[in-house]
Amino acid sequence: MAAAHETRIARLNRLEALLAPGRAPAACPDGARLLAMLGADYAGTTPQARRRALQRDLEELVKAQRIEAVNPGGKPLRYRRVTDLPDDDQAIWEYNLEVMRALVAEALPQRQLDRLWQRLLTNAEGPRLDEDRLRIVPDTLRLQAAALAPGVLEAVIEALAQPCALRVLYQNAEDVRGPACLHPQALVQRGPIPYLFALKNDEAEPVRLYALHRMIRAKALAATPARAAAGFKLDEAIANGQVDFGRGERIALELRVRGYLVTVVTTCPLAAGQRWEDEPLDADFEIRVWAQVPQTGQLLRWLLGAGDNVEVIAPPDLRRVVAAQAAKMAALYADPNAC
């Protein structure tokens, strides 16, 4: 058998192994995702050539009735496997290895290790690590989770899963209570508090955040379908800082950095496209860093937590805020008996 033919058979087997049977259409991968997961197998000269090679393989597997398109005529087409793989220990182990390698290949280029860990903890098929072998530990002080009123979390999950509207009695940050009909879009856990992205009453926008611990009562309205917010995407909302009550504004951050933070920001960049250069040898700091980041409370807390290992150079407004907060903190610890 020619080496090229053997390589293609192995590639077809890997492609088939990535497609689990019985999945709902929305959970099935399309060509773009499969290409990202199997990039090393489709090393064509151009993106178009790689897409064509993948499409030929998908068509061959469909023709052989090994996989199927779950949304015929749709764009993009999504695929799933028709039958289970051979049920023997070696085949299952090899399948798990292929899936694991594909997951890693997909996660590493985008530095999305958080998603990889989540998949490894929750996979129903393929490789799975339980909590005795994989744990995600926060790098900040872990606060106790906020207490929720009875029935609130169940109602929120029910409304998101259907999806349907949610009637709540809500107490805002000023302790003012009032009823509202929320149209859930997504649920996020930020630190110790879960928040619901939702439209309120008849509003078409904006999508607001509602803290679940501020819901006094909640009831899913099964007979009232939830309205979808135009253009809302959870990943974009997170990337734009909306989970930390940002307005999606991005700033050109310029910092001077020293001490332990030099290793931190050069190993784990603040954002994609970050750049840095060494400071002069006689400078008080070691490097200067530039990055485009969302302007959020999380950024401010990180800068203040860095202490004197970081100096904000730009933007000027942020520099003034950090200086003012640092002065207030210093005043708290001033010795009243000092001369």
Concatenating the DSSP letter of every residue in 121-161 gives HH-SSS----TTT-----SS--PPPPP--TTHHHHHHHHHH
Q: How many CB atoms lie within 10 A of CB 79?
A: 26
* Residue 107 binned pLDDT confidence (cut-offs 50, 70, 90): confident
Q: Per residue in 238-291, pLDDT tens?
A: 887 787 766 668 899 999 999 999 999 999 999 889 999 999 999 999 999 999
The dihedral sign for the CA sequence 193, 197, 202, 205: positive
**Window from 58-67, 134-143, 253-262 with minimum mean pLDDT:** 134-143
Q: How far apart are CA 166 and CA 217, in angstroms?
A: 10
> Cβ(149)–Cβ(219) under 8 Å?
no
Identify which has the larger pLDDT, 107 or 258: 258
Q: What is the pLDDT of residue 3?
A: 44
Q: How far apart are CA 43 and CA 46, in angstroms?
A: 8
Identify which has the larger pLDDT, 21 or 197: 197
Residue 86, pLDDT above cutoff 60: no
Q: What is the pLDDT of residue 243?
A: 79
The dihedral sign for the CA sequence 82, 87, 91, 96: positive
Q: Which range has highest mean pLDDT (12-16, 126-130, 202-206)?
A: 202-206
Q: Which two tokens stand for residue 26?
A: 């929305």
Q: What is the pLDDT of residue 1?
A: 37
> Cβ(250)–Cβ(292) under 8 Å?
yes
First to last CA, the chain: 89
Residue 125, pLDDT above cutoff 70: no
Identify which has the larger pLDDT, 241 or 227: 227
- Cβ-in-10-Å burial (0-12, 13-18, 19+) of 40 comes to exposed
Q: What is the pLDDT of residue 335?
A: 80
Averaged pLDDT, 27-42: 80
- What is the greatest pairwise CA distance in the chain? 89
* Residue 308 binned pLDDT confidence (cut-offs 50, 70, 90): very high
Q: What is the pLDDT of residue 211?
A: 94
Q: What is the pLDDT of residue 2?
A: 42
Q: What is the pLDDT of residue 249?
A: 81
Q: How far apart are CA 30 and CA 76, in angstroms?
A: 6
